[in-house]
Amino acid sequence: MHRRTFLAALTASACTGPDLTMQRLLRVSLLGQALIEHAASDREWPGRRAIAARLAHADVVFTNLETVIQGPNAGAPTREALTLHVADARVLDTLASVHVNLMTTANNHAFDLGSGGILDTVTAIRRSGLVSAGSGENLAVASAPARLASPAGATGLVAFATGKIRPGGAATPDGTGINELRRNPSGEPNAGDLNRILDAIAAARRDSDVVLVCQHNHDWEPDPADVPAWQRALARRCINAGASTFIGHGVPLLQGIEFYRGAPLFYGLGNFAFQTEKPVGAYGPESWEGMIVDCTFVEGRFVTARLVPLALNEIGLGGVDDMATRGFPRLAGPVEARAMLERLTAASRTLGVGLDLGTDAEGRLIPPGTFG
């Protein structure tokens, strides 16, 4: 079994590869899913400034917007109020305030206000100056890769969702929806859906330095912390097609990490914002955790990633009935961070990856052969 490391003490000078200072670096920060229903000031989100400072140096900050933006085309709600995730466009400004600039809209809540809600959300994102992929006015638009240009290079995004997509929520050749990857009765991905996604990854690779692939998955194992074998095989196929990394969302907790051909596979990054309307105690403590993954790519190749644990407040600042200020992240303290990294170590070990922890609240993840 290869040994990987989480060693905060390591520096670029320990690299056995080429001199990184002579090559173009692209910094991509990956976040957990953002179920955000309320815009927030610094007072309402006490951890915002520290997180914004942490993300300020990234060229790309990516999340999954698990909220429908209310607009003029909204249809009737497709689910009960307790699980209806709707917000006004100010939440996009809240995310932008911590430098989020790229997001997926392919998830099982994108259809909460019907097809019109999908169109309103995509329109609001575009007006906010953000870039997204994963849903749109028809299947060609929903499945097309997004491209975010920066002085350090271009980042492509291919996004799709599996499981719990309500009837009418999937895009069709002539109909609005999300980019869905279905599974056959055998459990294997639908061939047509898979080929469409792999073709989009290949297209993104042709005009982007780095290609992110994100799957919002709700076809969970009996223990949601376990990564399904079919999803691991899918992630490898995405890397083979040209993806630089694979990102999983859907399960509201941290899942293990593994490598394939030098590329990191992040199956579950937990939550970045979690403003569920369900009562306190409805979710376990692991749902109130997340991770910033600060990735560095050199000439399109993954080199290293700093892992930064986050803790979210299950109870709003005004008490258990204050839903507007619950579920916002802050940088985790040393004890909290250590516990998260230890659980991530155990989860990754089940995927055949050994992780060694550093001594502080952060760690560094590197592929084999990079550091001595």
CA distance 226 to 228: 6
* Short-list 2, 6, 1, CA closest to 345: 6
What tens-digit pLDDT sequence spans the chain (372 residues)?
333 333 322 222 233 344 555 578 999 999 999 999 999 999 999 999 999 999 999 999 999 999 999 999 999 999 999 999 999 999 999 999 999 999 999 999 999 999 999 999 999 999 999 999 999 999 999 999 999 999 999 999 999 999 999 999 999 999 999 999 999 999 999 999 999 999 999 999 999 999 999 999 999 999 999 999 999 999 999 999 999 999 999 999 999 999 999 999 999 999 999 999 999 999 999 999 999 999 999 988 999 998 999 999 999 999 999 999 999 999 999 999 999 998 998 898 888 876 656 545 666 676 754 432
- SS3 call for 340: helix
**Contact call for residues 342 and 314 (beta carbons, < 8 A):** no
**Contact call for residues 320 and 314 (beta carbons, < 8 A):** no
Question: In a 10 Å sphere around its CB, with 0-12 CB exposed, 13-18 middle and 19+ buried, how is residue 116 labelled?
Answer: middle
DSSP 164-213: -PPTT-B-BTTB-EE-B--B-TTSSBPHHHHHHHHHHHHHHHHH-SEEEE
Residue 345 is predicted with a pLDDT of: 85
- SS3 call for 292: strand
**Contact call for residues 324 and 277 (beta carbons, < 8 A):** no
Residues 6 or more apart whose Cβ sits within 8 Å of residue 61: 28, 29, 31, 55, 98, 99, 100, 101, 102
CA distance 297 to 263: 10
Residues 6 or more apart whose Cβ sits within 8 Å of residue 368: 2, 3, 4, 259, 262
Element housing 142 (H / E): helix 139-143
Question: In a 10 Å sphere around its CB, with 0-12 CB exposed, 13-18 middle and 19+ buried, how is residue 268 labelled?
Answer: buried
Q: Which residue has the tokens 């930064």?
A: 308
Query: Which pTM value belongs to this model?
Result: 0.93
Residue 277 is predicted with a pLDDT of: 95
